[in-house]
């Protein structure tokens, strides 16, 4: 009777048992080996189909990240458009614009700030 | 490279150091941007913008490029692959976007530092120097790098279609005598 009752409980609530709810997602952090993420890993009959490569779509967390990324990009674009498209060094000229001389167009050249030792000075004999 | 544990560990160490260093530098940059935005002392504000520009060129840009390169080496030199797992692909995207935005944003930092350098030392009028732009960019960068660090630790499951096809081909090859 007790065994029957226990069996019924297990059947009724199958996911209460931690041993049965462990999925492939719950890999210890110390396990750094690549996991077999293919959906066909548990169904060899599908993988054995000649010429067919069973693929599935992106997991839920990837889709969630994608949605968040799209929302953020749209938000940034809207903010830039609302701001009149004035984004970049030019927007900081303000009243201190007199000091804002022409800057290197590439953005890769460090400016010649006062007090900075120039490379040419260092390399000069 | 998978057959050389020492080289593999060196590459992994380089990637961890560069990415964690980048994250830390962004936190420092964020603190300086707060100082530049809120300090009442004009000299401190000017110093903050000059320091931000220096940190940008001397720390952030080298670390971002190092992080990108070591990440490419890590993914291509191990079984993880570059385009096989979604979390690796996402980290690559985050790193590429953050590096490009940083390189573009250096123009703004150059400009702010030039303005700060040319203001008279005794001037209390900071004009257009105070800007929330470094704070916003550093906050965005910090968010992106935290996501990347989290992905590195948790390595959520999920293979790209390319990865699934690759695995299928590998299994087919191994099953055939």
Q: Which residues of chain A have a Cβ shorter than 8 Å from any chain B Cβ?
A: 24-25, 27, 29, 32-40, 47-48, 53-56, 58-59, 61-62, 65, 88-89, 91-97, 99-101, 103-104, 107-108, 110-111, 113-115
Q: For residue B119, which residues of chain A lie inside 8 Å, CB to CB?
A: 96, 99
Q: Domain range for residue B47?
A: 5-175
The sign of the torsion formed by the CA atoms of A68, A74, A76, A82 equals negative
Interval A37-96: pLDDT, tens? 543 333 333 434 455 566 788 899 999 999 999 999 999 999 889 876 667 666 655 444
Interval B47-72: pLDDT, tens? 999 999 999 999 999 999 999 999 99
Confidence (pTM):
0.70
Distance CA A77, CA B128 (A): 24
Supply the pLDDT for residue B129.
82
Residue of A nearest to B78 (CA): A34
Written as six digits, the tokens of B158 are 């999920």
Mean pLDDT, to the nearest integer, of B124-133?
A: 80
Instruction: Report which of residues A84 and B77 the model is more confident about.
Output: B77
Average pLDDT over chain B reads: 92
Q: Which helix (H) or strand (E) holds B14?
A: helix B5-38
Q: Report the residue of A34, A36, A44 to disrupt the B interface, i.e. the one with the largest count of B CBs within 10 Å.
A: A34
Cβ distance A53 to B164 less than 8 Å, yes or no, reads yes
- B115: exposed, middle or buried (Cβ count in 10 Å: 0-12, 13-18, 19+): buried
Supply the pLDDT for residue A52.
58
Supply the pLDDT for residue A45.
37
Supply the pLDDT for residue A46.
40
- A94 vs B104, B128, B157: nearest CB: B128
The sign of the torsion formed by the CA atoms of B67, B26, B131, A77 equals positive
Cβ atoms < 10 Å from Cβ of B36: 26
Supply the pLDDT for residue B66.
97
Interval A1-50: pLDDT, tens? 444 445 444 444 444 333 334 444 444 434 455 555 543 333 333 434 45
Q: Is the pLDDT of residue B81 over 70?
A: yes
Q: Kindly report the length of chain A.
A: 125
Integer angstrom CA distances of residue A62 from B71, B95, B141, B160: 20, 17, 20, 10
Mean pLDDT, to the nearest integer, of B34-39?
A: 94
Supply the pLDDT for residue A86.
65
Q: Is the pLDDT of residue B126 over 80?
A: no
Whether residue B158 lies within 8 A of chain A, CB to CB, comes out as yes
Query: Which of these, B138, B134, B148, B110, lies nearest to B18 by C-alpha position?
Result: B148
What is the value of ipTM here, to two decimals?
0.79
Phi, psi of A54 (to 5 degrees): -70, 120
- A99 vs B57, B118, B163: nearest CB: B118
Count of structural domains, chain B: 1
Q: Is the pLDDT of residue A119 over 60?
A: no
Supply the pLDDT for residue A73.
93
Distance CA B161, CA A54 (A): 9
Q: What is the 3-state secondary structure (H, E, C) of A32-74?
A: CCCCCCCHHHHCHHHHCCCCCCCCCCCCHHHHHHHHHHHHHHH
Supply the pLDDT for residue A12.
42
Written as six digits, the tokens of B55 are 């940190």
Instruction: Report which of residues A47 and B171 the model is more confident about.
Output: B171
DSSP B177: -
Q: Is B159 helix (H, G, I), strand (E, B) or coil?
A: strand
CB B117 within 8 A of CB B109: no
Q: Is the pLDDT of residue A100 over 50?
A: no
Interval B142-158: pLDDT, tens? 999 999 999 999 999 99
């Amino acid at each position: 009777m007790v065994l029957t009752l226990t069996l019924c409980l297990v059947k009724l609530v199958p996911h209460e048992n931690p041993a049965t709810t462990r999925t492939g997602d719950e890999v210890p952090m110390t396990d750094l080996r690549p996991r077999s993420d293919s959906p066909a890993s548990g169904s060899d009959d599908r993988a054995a189909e000649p010429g067919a490569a069973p693929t599935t779509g992106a997991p839920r967390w990837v889709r969630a990240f994608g949605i968040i990324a799209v929302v953020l990009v749209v938000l940034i674009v809207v903010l830039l458009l609302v701001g009149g498209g004035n984004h970049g060094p030019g927007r900081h000229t303000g009243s201190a614009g007199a000091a804002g001389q022409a800057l290197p167009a590439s953005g890769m050249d460090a400016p010649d700030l006062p007090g900075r030792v120039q490379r040419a000075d260092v390399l000069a004999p | 490279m998978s057959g050389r544990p020492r080289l593999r560990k060196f590459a992994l160490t380089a990637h961890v150091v560069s990415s964690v260093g980048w994250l830390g530098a962004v936190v420092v940059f964020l603190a300086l941007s707060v100082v530049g935005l809120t300090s009442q002392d004009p000299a401190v504000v000017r110093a903050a913008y000059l320091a931000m520009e220096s940190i940008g060129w001397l720390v952030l840009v080298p670390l971002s490029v190092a992080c990108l390169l070591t990440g490419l080496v890590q993914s291509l030199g191990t079984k993880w692959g570059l385009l096989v797992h979604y979390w690796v692909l996402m980290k690559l995207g985050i790193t590429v976007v953050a590096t490009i935005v940083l390189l573009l944003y250096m123009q703004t930092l150059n400009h702010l530092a030039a303005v700060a350098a040319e203001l008279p030392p005794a001037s209390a009028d900071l004009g257009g120097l105070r800007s929330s732009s470094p704070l916003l960019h550093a906050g965005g960068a910090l968010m992106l790098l935290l996501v990347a660090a989290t992905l590195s630790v948790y390595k959520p499951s999920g293979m790209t279609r390319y990865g699934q096809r690759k695995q299928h081909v590998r299994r087919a090859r191994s099953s055939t005598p």
